[in-house]
Amino acid sequence: MTQMEAFGGSKILILDFGSQYTQVIARRVRECQVYSQIVAFSTPAKKLKESGARGLILSGGPASVYGKGAPHPDPEIFNLGIPILGICYGMQLMGHHLGGKVENSQRREFGATLLKVKAEARRGGETADLFYGLPDILDIWNSHGDKLTKLPKGFVAAAETDNSPYAAIADRKRHFYGLQFHPEVVHTPRGKEILQNFVYRICGSKMDWTMGSFIEQTRNRSAMTTWSWV
């Protein structure tokens, strides 16, 4: 049994691309009472599938998708058939791998700004789910130098900022979503609700994790493993 298979309930895996906020993403998911686990960005898609995860989150990171030695995931993760949320660098990776275009922004976007949810994101379907129950204007926190300048095929723009027409994107059919900003930090006041919408409404996760339940499952598995050797 691998470490990724250690919890039998709803599970969200976070591919770590070096963001200082990766641990915060994991904590936010667990605050939803859903088990989360951080794994290496290079984890093979086959291993991710074997884990039984209901969804993947691609973290942010300091690299540029075109940079020498920049971290990239196994491209097969986009063929797993499970929802994926890319955050900042994670969104840029998604755009790059799926046929979009990422470029250096003439104006680095860092700090607080306003996000404007587009009307298209309110017309039903999975796109609306990401911003379900939220207003059309949101305070958000950005920290990026590159940005998506061309949408991959199948995606629509779900929200924008003054500096980026693609601050949030979505592919309804494949359940792929991207956020150029950071919903996990406290500087995005309603970011936790965005993550909840992804975890519950899009991934279909259940509130079946607490530290106590995780310890109990681990203890039971250990007991079963010991008995099988008797």
Split into its structural domains, the chain has a count of: 1
203 is catalytic: no
pLDDT for the residue 80: 98
Query: pLDDT-based confidence at 98, cuts 50/70/90?
Result: very high
184 is catalytic: yes
pLDDT digits (tens, 9 = 90+) for 4-32: 555 668 999 999 999 999 999 999 999 99
Contact 59, 81 (CB under 8 A): no
Please identify which of the residues 96, 144, 175, 182 carries the catalytic annotation: 182
Contact 15, 59 (CB under 8 A): yes
Backbone angles phi, psi at 190, to 5 degrees: -110, 20
Structure letter (DSSP) for residue 65: T
72 is catalytic: no
> Is 86 a residue whose pLDDT tops 50?
yes
Please identify which of the residues 32, 144, 184, 203 carries the catalytic annotation: 184
Please identify which of the residues 88, 96, 144, 203 carries the catalytic annotation: 88
> Is 160 a residue whose pLDDT tops 80?
yes
> Is 167 a residue whose pLDDT tops 80?
yes
Structure letter (DSSP) for residue 5: G
pLDDT digits (tens, 9 = 90+) for 56-80: 999 999 999 999 999 999 999 999 9
Which residues in the chain belong to E strands, given as ranges?
11-16, 35-40, 55-58, 84-87, 101-117, 137-150, 156-160, 168-171, 176-179
- Token code pair at residue 196: 């909840």
CATH code for position 212:
3.40.50.880
What average pLDDT score do residues 103-115 get? 77
| Containing structural domain, residue 195 | 3-228
